[in-house]
Amino acid sequence: MKFIHGLSQWAEQRSAWLVLFITSFGLECAALYFQHVMGLAPCIMCIYQRTAMWGIVLAGLLVLLFNHAVTRFLALGLWAYSAVQGFLVASEHIEIIEADDPFFATCEIFPNFPSWAPLHEWLPSVFAAPGDCLENSWQFLSMGMAHWMQIIFAAYFVVFAAVLLARLIDKKAF
């Protein structure tokens, strides 16, 4: 019970949200390093995963700027939604890469962002998708980028679930 209470208490502190912000922002910086320094062109699925990670970055930033029960509640929702969406996109990306017939395993060419937020037009160096979804040249421990992103988004969701459960068990408001 001490661990649950401690986790619940920590979720009210800016330091917890700073950890969320730093880890997710660090991953965004790593993605830009892979793209602009290592020359790995992101595909549309990569860009959608990048967008989901930006949701986690914004969740952390929201509470860093305005630490209040309402903003923590909104940030938890954004964190969970972004982690789930990122996991689903990474899973779909893995299916495309591992498809038996690569002719039918394709993805979109242009990002499908809302008309009111054409991120690929506003920030093409971050959100344009010149790469191929079947490209899987980068490997670490026998896994490609999509596999690692699936693990990372799953980890973010597990941590979210632990925080939410700790808050509920400890009977605290958000």
Nearest Cα neighbor of 44 from 89, 83, 99, 98 is 89
Neighbouring C-beta atoms of residue 69, cutoff 10 Å? 11
Whether 107 is a known active-site residue: answer: yes
Residue among 14, 29, 72, 133 flagged as catalytic: 133
Residue among 29, 72, 107, 167 flagged as catalytic: 107
Residue among 14, 46, 72, 167 flagged as catalytic: 46
Kindly give, in sequence order, each residue whose CB lies less than 8 Å from that of residue 123, ignoring residues fewer than 6 positions away.
none
Q: What is the spatial distance between Cα 128 and Cα 42, in angstroms, rounded to a whole number? A: 8
Whether 43 is a known active-site residue: answer: yes
Q: What is the spatial distance between Cα 87 and Cα 52, in angstroms, rounded to a whole number? A: 9
Residue for token pair 């506003």: 122
Residue among 29, 43, 72, 167 flagged as catalytic: 43
Nearest Cα neighbor of 44 from 122, 138, 111 is 111
Whether 29 is a known active-site residue: answer: no
In three-state secondary structure terms, 151 is helix
Catalytic residues: 43, 46, 50, 107, 133
